[in-house]
Amino acid sequence: MFSRPQHPHPTRHLFVAPCGFAVGDTLEDILRVFEPCGEPTVTAFHDKPHVFVSFPSERQAAAAAAAVLGDTEAFGGRQVKVRFAEARKPRQQQRDRQPVAAVSSLEACAVPGLALHTQFITSDEEIVRPSTA
């Protein structure tokens, strides 16, 4: 989902802790704190004491971070940590970039005891026949 940024610049996303359902905050509580700075989108988890708050612009996120940092009244007396975060790419996309090795001979595999069946199915089995249900 999110990670620490690899650069020192502000991002559109904030990590806020302790905050969220696990510490008794409702979605309305979180929105009430961050809406004065823009149009936030909240990513919260039921079992984690933190949330991610995303804004349409980096400027709105920076204003929200500055407004909440040190404000203990915003979250019922709790001092929260606010850090910038980056949206991570889905893991599936990362896996898709890795090359896949294909072999056509046992010698190319170099795995002792491995058998390679080049004719796994017959030509008749390759034909897709419509099922009669």
Tokens of 118: 């080049």
Q: Which residues contact 116 (CB under 8 A, 6 or more apart)?
A: 103, 105, 106, 109
CATH number at residue 68: 3.30.70.330
Checking 39-45 for CB contacts under 8 A at 24+ apart, the result is: 40/64, 43/1, 43/2, 44/20, 45/20, 45/21
User: What's the pLDDT band for 88 if we cut at 50, 70, 90?
Assistant: confident
Residue 48 within any structural domain of the chain = yes
- The domain containing residue 59 runs over which residues? 2-92
Q: Global pTM?
A: 0.65
Residue 8 within any structural domain of the chain = yes
Across the chain, mean pLDDT equals: 81
Q: Is the pLDDT of residue 92 over 80?
A: no
The pLDDT, as a whole number, for residue 46 is 86
Higher pLDDT, 92 or 102: 102
Residue 18 within any structural domain of the chain = yes
Alpha carbon dihedral 31, 34, 36, 41, in 10-degree steps, equals -70
How large is the C-alpha radius of gyration of the chain?
A: 26
Report the SS3 class of residue 2. Answer: strand
d(Cα 14, Cα 51) in Å, to the nearest integer?
A: 8
Residue 109 within any structural domain of the chain = no
Domain count, the chain: 1
